Amino acid sequence: MRNLLLAFFLLFSWAVHAGEGDLLEPEQAFKFSARVVDEQTLEVRYQIAEGYYLYKEKIRFKAEPADVTLGAAQLPAGKIKQDEYFGKVETYRHDLLIRLPYTRGGANQITLKATSQGCADAGVCYPPQTQVAKLDLPRTRSEGGEKSSLLKLLGGGKDEFLPPDQAFRLTVKATDGKTLLASFTIAENYYLYRDKIRFSLKDSGGTGIAAVTLPQGDTKSDPTFGKTEVYHKSFQAVIKLKREDNAKQPVNLVAAYQGCSEKGVCYPPAQKTMALTLPELPAVGAAPAEMQPASAPLAASSAPPSAGMAATRKSEEAQGSESSRIGALFKGGNFWLIMVSFFGFGLLLALTPCVFPMIPILSGIIVGQGHALTKSRALGLSLAYVLGMALTYAAAGVAAGMSGTLLSSALQNPWVLGGFALVFVALAFSMFGFYELQMPSFIQSRFTEASNRVKGGSAAGVFAMGALSAVIVGPCVAAPLAGALLYISQTHDMMLGGSALFSLALGMGAPLLLVGVSAGALLPRAGAWMEAVKSFFGVLLLGMAIWLVSPVISPAVHMLLWAALLIVSAMYLRAIDPLPHPASGFVKFWKGVGVIALIAGVSLLIGVLGGNRDILQPLSGLHSLPAEARAAGAAPLKFERVKSVAELESRVKQAQGKIVMLDFYADWCVSCKEFERFTFDDARVKAKLGGAVLLQADVTANSEDDKALLKKFSLFGPPGIIFFDKSGKELSQARVVGYQPPETFLASLDAIIH
């Protein structure tokens, strides 16, 4: 009864939506074809439209007449999906190729009935569909009598060899504005010569072929051409184009090739001309145009991409231009080039706010050594800290790539952040001289003893502090990190991916080594100067504690904490004390610093009491602008929050011919706040996005819905920005991963919004 009700519901839902004209007919959504491969094998192909999928367990086959027996269908592995109707299931998208063994009995023709069931991403499932194909079976070797045998011996048995178009099937499609993908399907016991494959363009204006990439073939001692390289199995050729015109353009591709049968007969050189259309550049979200020879039957559609090619294409589509270059770097396989490149990426990331907080942590540890500090000691502690950070970064990155989620995002909760902030508070108060953590004490708690080991300067303790810093302080995702994580998730190559992340973290830590060594070289060894420097780094550590807990406290409390820190620091700098008559230059300088800190702290206090919550402009609400000025650009961009995949898909569908921008945000993501404060607040960006639908996925809580949203777009964490065109299709090449300043982001928008 439950299955009957479910089937009725699916049928009713499909009928309603089909009436609205939003969905394809089942025959168009799941194009079915079948052919006979040989005397023992059938081949079934489903061409699944974009935005649709088939359930693996719902695919069934039957054959008539009764003396034809079908074997177990050879189904490839599908993609795991958490389905709202059937739970955790395997599904197929795009092209699906199935091999089906059979025993013919005495029949010369077979009627194959294929039953399947699929759904649309829009949330509607079709009822089970049965599609039929009538296939003529080939003659057996015993058929045809002595005359047939004699003809075969004389080379005249035409039934023994396939026509060229069936022996070698070719389809070509444009994957983007500068790339064509040529798919060759080779029948069993046939092969193609690698060096006979040629491609050229005819009547294509200023467009030409820049490069053709062919996979490695098999070495064969051929009776016609000697030792040569051939293809026995289906393969794909990647054709890179050079274009002078960025507009949508029709081209004619001429493909030349030659092949043979293993039974000793070679075909003359073949040439096919295929007409297809290149999408407009830049190729953002354009559906690939596919064309096959007019003489080819339906069963001659392109074979599904190999696993390696599919992974590469998915990587390139998933991370945009910058991460595509990173994916190409991994694809090249040059280990040392990857290591050097990622070390350079790390040096660039060291200049971002996600790494800045590590400077006061390391500096505080170095300064805490006091009189016992030497240059070698400072270098050793700095190296221990950076290695702890790098090893943890690499291990956490490999875990993220394998699991699909960042470990650091799971640790962004009040208890973890609060505990880590308390460590900094304890270290800061020891800097101020309230107590000494150099020696353990019986009355100190285990927490203080742990702080003592870190503060006392043991290499293991500093290593542990570096490991914690990497996980807690650096949860934001940048393009190099995203590219490495995507490579690990697709290839499971933990060695290369982990090594790249380790090199990336070493690059991020290189400036920290300079900070540590310079602190050991420049700091005085004794006297009041040392106490002043320790107090300075104590204030920095308190600032770090406030920064850490900022994602889990209200903006008002955040501003109050900064106000308190600045005002109290100003008091210690004697901001309101009168200067002695013979005051030195340094005394006047520090008093000036104290006055600035006092003014900043009081401004924050007045601002928060006045209802303002902008920590960078605490007094902005105390004056009113004319209505015209406020309307001119003071209003921030308004985002609509989406909480699940279903809610996102529904909202994109309702966009009604508008560009849609989806922003992934989290309170603990520093780069996300950079986007809000600098990029999204830029007047030019606001004007450019004026006609777009702005959606935002807040993944701060890291809930199951948050993880599902990130996984849908192969993202490991924020920041990430996804664009959809006016038809609701994702513009995969326009993705933005990591922070972009206004100028760079405007260039990204120019490729989308004209």
Q: Quick one: average pLDDT of 679-695?
A: 90
Instruction: For residues 434 and 720, give the distance between their C-alpha atoms in angstroms, rounded to a whole number.
Output: 44
Residue 107 CB-density burial (10 A; 0-12 exposed, 13-18 middle, 19+ buried): middle
Structure tokens at 535: 């107090």
DSSP structure string for 136-186: EPPPPTTTTHHHHHHHHHTT--GGGS--HHHHEEEEEEEEETTEEEEEEEE
pLDDT at residue 403, as a whole number:
59
- pLDDT greater than 80 at residue 245: no
The answer to whether residue 297 scores a pLDDT higher than 80 is: no
SS3 assignment, position 637: coil
In angstroms, rounded to a whole number, what is the distance separating the alpha carbons of residues 735 and 715? 11
Q: What is the mean pLDDT of residues 484-501?
A: 70
**Cα Rg, the chain, nearest whole Å:** 33
- Name the percent of the chain lying above pLDDT 90: 14
What is the mean predicted confidence (pLDDT) over 218-239? 81
Q: What is the pLDDT of residue 231?
A: 92
pLDDT of residue 546: 85
Does the pLDDT of residue 143 top 60, yes or no?
no
pLDDT at 1 over 70: no
- Let me know the angle formed at the C-alpha of 479 by 474 and 484, rounded to the nearest 5 degrees: 85
Whether the bond between 164 and the residue before it is cis, its omega within 30 degrees of 0, is no
Residues 6+ apart with CB under 8 A from 392: 466, 467, 468, 470, 471
Structure confidence at residue 127 as a pLDDT band (50, 70, 90): confident
Q: What is the pLDDT of residues 601-636, one digit of tens each?
A: 999 899 888 888 777 778 876 655 454 444 444 567
Distance CA 60, CA 724 (A): 36
Q: What is the pLDDT of residues 332-358, one digit of tens each?
A: 557 788 788 888 877 877 766 566 666
Confidence at 225, pLDDT banded by 50, 70, 90: low
H/E run at residue 114: strand 109-116
Give CA–CA dist 509/389, Å, rounded: 8
What the block records as the tokens of 448 is 């203080």
8 A C-beta contact, residue 350 and residue 508 = yes
What pLDDT shows up at residue 144?
A: 39
Residue 300, pLDDT above cutoff 50 = no
For 502-515, how does the pLDDT look when each residue is reduced to its tens digit (9 = 90+)? 888 788 878 777 77
**Model pLDDT, residue 693:** 93
Closest alpha carbon to 324 in 735, 711, 660: 735
User: CA-to-CA distance for 625 and 36, rounded, in angstroms?
Assistant: 77
Cα 215 to Cα 37, 325, 542, 640, distances in angstroms = 24, 20, 58, 47
Q: Is the pLDDT of residue 282 over 60?
A: no
Residue 9's pLDDT band (cuts 50, 70, 90) = very low
In Å, how far are 495, 547, 614 from 408, measured between CA atoms?
21, 16, 26
Residue 519 pLDDT grade (very low, low, confident, very high; cuts 50, 70, 90): low
Counting Cα atoms < 13 Å in the Cβ hemisphere of 287 gives 11
Lowest mean pLDDT among 117-126, 237-246, 466-475: 466-475
Mean pLDDT (whole number) for 445-460: 50
pLDDT digits (tens, 9 = 90+) for 401-416: 665 555 555 556 677 6
Report pTM.
Answer: 0.43
Reduce the secondary structure of 275-291 to three states and give it as a string.
EEEECCCCCCCCCCCEE
**What is the band of 136 on the pLDDT scale with cuts at 50, 70, 90?**
confident
What integer pLDDT is reported at residue 357 of this predicted model?
63
User: What is the structure's pLDDT at 641?
Assistant: 93
| Listed range (14-23, 91-100, 145-154, 191-200) with the worst mean pLDDT | 145-154
Give the mean pLDDT of 569-574. Answer: 87
Q: Alpha-carbon dihedral of residues 613, 614, 615, 621, nearest 10 degrees?
A: -90
What angle (nearest 5°) sits at the alpha carbon of residue 15, between those of residues 14 and 20? 95
Chain mean pLDDT for the chain: 75
How many whole angstroms separate alpha carbon 560 and alpha carbon 570? 15
pLDDT at 629: 45
Percent of the chain with pLDDT over 70: 69
User: What was the pLDDT predicted at 318?
Assistant: 39
Does residue 238 have a pLDDT over 50? yes
Residue 159 has pLDDT above 50, yes or no: no
Closest CA to 201 of 242, 236, 261, 143: 242
Residue 38 has pLDDT above 70, yes or no: yes
